[in-house]
Structure 1
Amino acid sequence: MDFAIDPDITDFAASIDSLLGKSDMPSVLRAWAAGDTAPGETVWGRVAETGAAALLIDEDAGGAGATAVEAVVALEVLGRHAVPGPVVETVMVAPRIAAALGSDVAVDLASGALASVAAPRVSPFAPDPAVAKYLWVADDDEVFTGTAGEIRRSVDRARTVTVPSKGGNLAAANTVDLINHGALGTAAQLLGLGKAMLEMSVDYAKQRKQYGKFIGEYQGLKHQLADVAIALEMAQPLLWAGALAIAENPDVPASAVRDVSAARVAVADAAYLSARTALQVHGAIGYTLEHDLGLWLTKTRALQTAWGTQSFHRGRVLKSLEAAR
């Protein structure tokens, strides 16, 4: 039996990768951090034109009618290029809310509108509300309009967050389902970030010399980079398993809790290891504002607690295993 991703999906991801590779993302991220979100919104518009924003939107509303499998493949690419904005909320969470709100919102999202979402008990911070057309709060299996509170800058300078207050009740929506989608999408982003930082580290190790040798020739450094590669490679199938769990049981979100949270834990740990190792390989220069690596490091750190902390997701895995005994 072949468990590989369908070639059509990988080709789609490659097209997004090619587009973003030509977009000078470090400059886009620095502009976003400085308060100029226009270049980033332009990039997002181009991404939306590929259909990435509409993957989970029904075909009747102009979407692709795809599953979480296609979505996580696309989100991994968006993570690799550190695309700013409420990416996971727009691609993964908002379509589930739009299904409850009606076709007008779904059509808007499929056309590239950005949405930001907070879930107070798990993920209380809504990212980048200033660029989001929709701001929602999901709590107690209900979705409410959100009103942005104080805007705070995240550890990722190209990311702001707010704790929105609840407004009017809009519709019923399964909170577990929304958390599953948010957590899985964040895991996909983190996997892309982790792979990008590993690639940066390997490239730097081939260029930087110390004591007359390229630092990549030292055995200790090879072992560190190999550990990162193994961690990322082992986390990848867990991400796909989480996506399959959602895709195969869309109406029973509780059945996907274990697989989604297991993926979130494994990927977040692997991405964090990649970030730590990248900083060790580059030295302090990697954390400076002038070096591109710092943009990926801080985004990885910011996403470690998005849509649930590691302890929250480990707790969900444990509860699922105990319930199955």
Structure 2
Amino acid sequence: MRFVLDDDQRDFAAALESLLTASDPVAAARAWAEGDHERGLALWRRLADLGVTSLATDASPVEVVIAFEALGRHAVPGPWVESAAYLPVALGTEVEGIATLALPPHVPYALDADVADVVYAGTTEASVVGDVLTSVDRTRRLFEVSGTGETHPEAFDLAVLAVSAQLLGAGERVLADSVTYVKQRRQFGREIGSYQAIKHALADVRIALDFARPLVLGAALGEVPASAAKVACGDAAYLASRTGLQVHGAIGYTQEFDLSVWITKIRALVTAWGTPAYHRARLLDGLLERTGS
């Protein structure tokens, strides 16, 4: 089956892209990492006005995927998965303001609890918000939370799908920036993108992302498990980050270079809302259950 976005979905994607391109989200992400949330919160309000925070309750998972791929492609900071994917479904209503949660064991810490209007443990308001912990992604401020709450299965799958879409968007951005870079960087009198080894490495990333995208859309349509999308997108985005770092050379390691924003975000998201090992085991259990093994 060939899946094509309808006119309304394409218009929504175009509106998101226009808003985010004009908003300099990388600057917002860098400020967020330093504890300055003003730009990020202003961007949050603009995205909320566009309807991003109400998609989980008022639209389909396809629109959720469209939005979260854009959030990943532009490295938008904040607890979006928590506020706009998990909690609206788990609570049965759109979340007012900004919310975050911890959901052990797969979400052991609450993301950005310092800017949230309400912090949950599962679907119960947290009794205590504790110390902040560091993440490889400096825009992700993680907080210990006291409280108990059960996992909502449908909400969990939508959150996993949202993270998958973020990974896909981040991987696409790293690939696009890497292709642009290798066309500009010259060594030994020629563009480094003209070397076969670099062409092949970038082509492998393109193939991985192209194989991951149908699983995301399939999961949004309910045809494949969300865990399949998470595994494929995690692998593809991580390959994109490794390859992007390699083709950029030493500059790719520097915090000042924008590539680092996506490389660290991908590394954090690969294990967010369930590790690859967990999701692979979940897929295996599902296969064994269907075959009666």
**What is the identity, as a one-letter code, of the residue corresponding to 1:298?**
T
Name 1:227's counterpart in structure 2.
Answer: 204
Per the alignment, residue 73 of structure 1 pairs with 66
Letter of the aligned partner of 1:286 in structure 2?
G
User: Is residue 88–residue 182 contact of structure 1 (8 Å, CA) maintained in 2?
Assistant: yes
Q: Which amino acid aligns with 1:42?
A: A
Per mean C-alpha deviation after superposition, the further-off stretch among 204-213 and 22-31 is 22-31
Q: Which digits, 9 at most, give the CA deviation of each residue in 1:21-71, with x for residues without a partner?
A: 1111221111111110111110111111111111123xxxxxxx2111111
Matched ranges for 1:281-296 at <5 A: 281-296=247-262
Aligned with residue 244 of structure 1, among 221, 230, 235: 221
Moved more, 47-56 or 265-274: 47-56
User: What is the CA-CA distance between 1:14 and the residue it aligns to?
Assistant: 1.3
Aligned twin of 2:76: 83
Q: What amino acid sits opposite 1:144 in the alignment?
A: T
Structure 1: gaps spanning 5 or more residues: 58-64, 246-255
The residue matched to 1:130 in structure 2 has which SS? coil
Deviation at 1:5, TM superposition (A): 1.8
Q: How far does residue 153 in structure 1 lie from its aligned partner after superposition? A: 2.1
Which residue of the other structure, out of 188, 204, 207, is the alignment partner of 1:211?
Answer: 188
Q: Which residue identity does 2:34 align to in structure 1?
A: A
1:98 maps to 91
Q: Cα deviations across residues 173-207 of structure 1 (Å, max 9, x unaligned)?
A: 75222321221110010000000000000000010
Equivalent residues, number: 290
Identity of counterpart residues, as a percentage?
A: 46
Aligned mates of 1:174, 1:128 — CA distance in 2? 20
Q: Deviations over 1:201-260 (max 9, x none)?
A: 000001000111100100110000010011001100100111111xxxxxxxxxx8x611
**Maintained 8 Å contact 1:304/1:310:** yes
Distance 1:262 1:124 in 2: 22
Give unpaired runs (5+ residues) of structure 2.
none
User: Is residue 164 from structure 1 mapped to residue 130 from structure 2 by the alignment?
Assistant: no
Contact 1:93 1:117 in 2 (8 A): no
- Counterpart CA distance in 1 for 2:266 and 2:151 is 28
Runs (4+) of structure 1 exceeding 4 A deviation are: none
Give the secondary structure class of the aligned counterpart of 2:23: coil
CA distance in structure 1 between the aligned counterparts of 2:282 and 2:262, rounded to whole angstroms: 28
Q: Aligned pair in 2 of structure 1 residues 188, 166: CA closer, same or farther (>3 Å)?
A: same
Mapped pair 1:313 → 2:279: yes
RMSD (Å) for aligned C-alpha atoms = 1.5
Mapped pair 1:150 → 2:150: no
Query: Which moved further from structure 2: 113-122 or 295-304?
Result: 113-122
TM-score between both structures, scaled by the size of structure 1: 0.86
Mapped partners of 1:84, 1:2: distance in 2: 33
CA apart distance, 1:2? 4.6
**1:1-325 → structure 2 map (5 Å cutoff):** 2-57=2-57, 65-99=58-92, 106=94, 108-109=95-96, 113-138=97-122, 143-146=123-126, 147-166=128-147, 175-245=152-222, 259-325=225-291
Q: Distance in 1 between matches of 2:2 and 2:133?
A: 46
CA contact under 8 A between 1:235 and 1:263: conserved in structure 2? yes
Residue by residue, what CA displacement relative to the aligned partner does 1:143-200 show, whole Å, maximum 9, x if unpaired?
Answer: 2211322111211111101131106x7xxx7522232122111001000000000000
* 2: CA distance, partners of 1:12 / 1:45: 17
C-alpha distance in structure 1 between counterparts of 2:193 and 2:2, whole Å? 35
CA separation in 1, counterparts of 2:2 and 2:200? 31
Match of 1:248 in 2: none
Name the aligned partner's letter for residue 240 of structure 1.
L
